[in-house]
């Protein structure tokens, strides 16, 4: 009886240990979280109502967050990125680069009190943005103002062009 019980327990243990459950959500690579990321260049104008909507092309989970950075300047070949929203004050009013997102897309838009038609093209044309999806388990856990720190935290080596 003991021998039969031992064989039965051994068989059940091996069976349970070797079972696999459903695969978890993508984004894990040896314990390192890899966040989807892309770069996009946008022209804001009256024809597009100073906004642009871009579909992700990948799955965004309900609790995921999205960060957007704007290429603010290039000094001695060094790119300066700023987390949105960003505000620029003019004598005529303020300009705000901003965004919002859904599970399907991210929307980039100009906001503020200035008449956008008066803006020099340097403020509206060829604006470069980097978008990073923050996995749900990391939303609110770290400071995201430094793009390089975020890229390092999420193992982002490059941004795909959209």
Residue 24 is predicted with a pLDDT of 41
In a domain, 84, yes or no: yes
pLDDT at 68 > cutoff 80: yes
Residue 79 lies in a domain: yes
Indicate the helix (H) or strand (E) that contains 121: helix 121-124
Query: Domain tally for the chain?
Result: 1
Mean pLDDT over all residues of the chain? 80
Q: Is the pLDDT of residue 121 over 90?
A: yes
Pairing of strands 78-83, 86-90: unpaired
Distances from the Cα of 114 to the Cα of 80, 90, 101, 127, angstroms? 24, 8, 24, 18
Separation of CA 51 from chain center: 18
Look at 11-25, 32-46, 132-146 and tell me which has the smallest mean pLDDT: 11-25
11, part of any domain: no
Q: Which domain holds residue 139?
A: 24-161
Q: Is residue 2 situated within a structural domain?
A: no
Instruction: Quote the pTM value.
Output: 0.71
Asked if the model's pLDDT at residue 74 lies above 80, the reply is: yes
Please give the pLDDT value at position 81.
96
């Amino acid at each position: 009886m003991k021998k039969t019980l031992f064989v039965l327990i051994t068989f059940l243990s091996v069976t349970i240990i070797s079972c696999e459950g459903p695969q978890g959500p993508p984004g894990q690579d040896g314990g390192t979280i890899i966040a989807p990321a892309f770069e996009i260049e946008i022209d804001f104008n009256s024809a597009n109502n100073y906004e642009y909507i871009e579909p992700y092309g990948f799955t965004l989970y309900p609790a995921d967050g999205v960060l957007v950075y704007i290429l603010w300047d290039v000094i001695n070949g060094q790119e300066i990125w700023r987390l949105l929203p960003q505000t620029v004050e003019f004598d005529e009013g303020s300009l705000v680069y901003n965004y919002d997102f859904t599970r399907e897309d991210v929307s980039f838009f100009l906001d503020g009190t200035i008449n956008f038609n008066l803006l020099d093209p340097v403020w509206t044309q060829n604006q470069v943005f980097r978008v990073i999806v923050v996995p749900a388990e990391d939303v609110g856990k770290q400071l995201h103002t430094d793009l390089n720190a975020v890229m390092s935290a999420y193992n982002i080596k490059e941004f795909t062009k959209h």
